[in-house]
Amino acid sequence: MDGVWIRSQSGETLGYMKRVRYIPFMTLCEGANFIVGVDSTDPTHLGEYATKERAKEIIDDIQKHIFNGVHEVYQMPEE
């Protein structure tokens, strides 16, 4: 498997992501920590979380989803 299907936190985007990346709030706007996925064409905003630690927990969860061979779409958590 070279990627994973992920539905964005807003539910408005569904994409086959090859990479998932944490972007700290200082990069984009104050007060939010973003997780961005990259499919074969462009970056996609997947979710927004209150802390860096929470964003990293989500990335850990996506990793477990892939490692366990789950074939369902990963839904980004609300919080």
Q: Domain range holding 26?
A: 4-68
Q: Report if pTM > 0.75.
A: yes
Quick check: is 77 in a domain? no
Question: Which of 13-22, 40-49, 55-64, 70-79 bottoms out in mean pLDDT, i.e. has the lowest?
Answer: 40-49
**73 belongs to a structural domain:** no
Residue 10 lies in a domain: yes
Cα(20)–Cα(6) distance, rounded to whole angstroms? 10
**CA-based nearest residue to 58, from 14, 1, 2, 6:** 6
CA–CA separation, 79 and 60 (whole Å): 15
In a domain, 74, yes or no: no
For residue 78, being part of any structural domain is answered with no
pLDDT at position 7 is 94
| pLDDT digit string, tens, across residues 29-57 | 566 677 778 776 778 888 888 888 888 89
Q: How many domains does the chain have?
A: 1
